[in-house]
Amino acid sequence: MSFRPPLPLRVATPAGWAEAALADPAGLLSDHAHCEKKAALAALSLLNAFTGDPRSALLLAKLAEEELGHFRKVLEALQRFGWELRPDAGNRHAQGLLAASEADRMGRKGHEALLDRLLIAALIEARSCERLYLLEQAAGAHAELGNAEWLAFLFELERCEAGHALAYLSLAEDRFGAATRVRLDWWLDREAEVVTKLPWRAAVH
Ligand SMILES: [Fe+2]
Ligand SMILES: [Fe+2]
């Protein structure tokens, strides 16, 4: 079955990536715990831009709650495997996208910064979804992560991140209308540049 990411990503992650990421499953899982934590924090911090918009605020609260649930489940999985939560080594995908936003935003106005934050969140979710799918495909043959419970968990995460990508896109479209697709087109090229330069390591990004 072919995979369609929730956003039209312009560079596909190469097939060999998942094997490299699975080389250190304890590191991969630890890094992913931090990703889920940061996803919850990002949704909560975006709430400040949606006061006076109860529907969007509620959607962000649900996103934050779901990410926090993922964070707890990844921590529980670490505990089951007897692996520890390592220090946060940072998300280079997110850092690259934020740097691209900063470089482009010189002299631009505040509301455009919010559009970028929403689109960056959507792109991170979409790339996570693509890579979780690749991990799910590769993990079947893996000694520790090849069991049915773990594969079901990866599938659940992948499905949720696809929904989150579309949720951030809809938040952007509600606020910014047609400008959203114009800016998304620009962002899809930036994301392709950033993801191509990422070193492969035991992390989703
Ligand atoms: Fe998540
Ligand atoms: Fe997510």
Average pLDDT value over all residues in the chain: 93
As a whole number of angstroms, the distance between CA 188 and CA 119 comes to: 9
How far apart are the CA of 49 and the centre of ligand 2, in A? 19
How far apart are the CA of 125 and the centre of ligand 2, in A? 5
How far apart are the CA of 156 and the centre of ligand 2, in A? 11
Element (H, E) at 81: helix 54-81
User: Model pTM?
Assistant: 0.94
Q: What is the pLDDT of residues 93-115, one digit of tens each?
A: 999 999 999 888 764 656 689 99
CA distances (Å), 32 to each of 43, 71, 189, in order?
17, 8, 25
Q: What is the pLDDT of residues 61-72, one digit of tens each?
A: 999 999 999 999
Closest by Cα among 42, 55, 88, 115 to 203: 88
How far apart are the CA of 185 and the centre of ligand 1, in A? 24
**pLDDT tier at 39 (50, 70, 90 boundaries)?**
very high
As a whole number of angstroms, the distance between CA 131 and CA 148 comes to: 19
How far apart are the CA of 88 and the centre of ligand 2, in A? 18
Tell me the CATH class for 21-82+89-197.
mainly alpha
Query: What was the pLDDT predicted at 106?
Result: 67
Instruction: Check whether 146 has a pLDDT greater than 90.
Output: no
Q: What is the pLDDT of residues 191-201, one digit of tens each?
A: 999 999 998 98
How far apart are the CA of 38 and the centre of ligand 1, in A? 9
How far apart are the CA of 157 and the centre of ligand 2, in A? 8
- For the chain, give the number of residues: 205
Identify the sign of the CA torsion 87, 93, 94, 96.
Answer: positive
- The number of angstroms, rounded, from the C-alpha of 201 to the middle of its chain's C-alpha atoms is 16
How far apart are the CA of 5 and the centre of ligand 2, in A? 13
Provide the residue ranges of all domains of the chain, joining segments of one domain with +: 21-82+89-197
Q: What value does the mean pLDDT take over residues 50-65?
A: 97
31 in Cβ contact with 204 (< 8 Å): yes
How far apart are the CA of 98 and the centre of ligand 1, in A? 19
Ligand at shortest distance from the CA of 166: 2
Query: What was the pLDDT predicted at 162?
Result: 97
Query: What was the pLDDT predicted at 105?
Result: 76
Ligand at shortest distance from the CA of 71: 1
How far apart are the CA of 77 and the centre of ligand 1, in A? 14
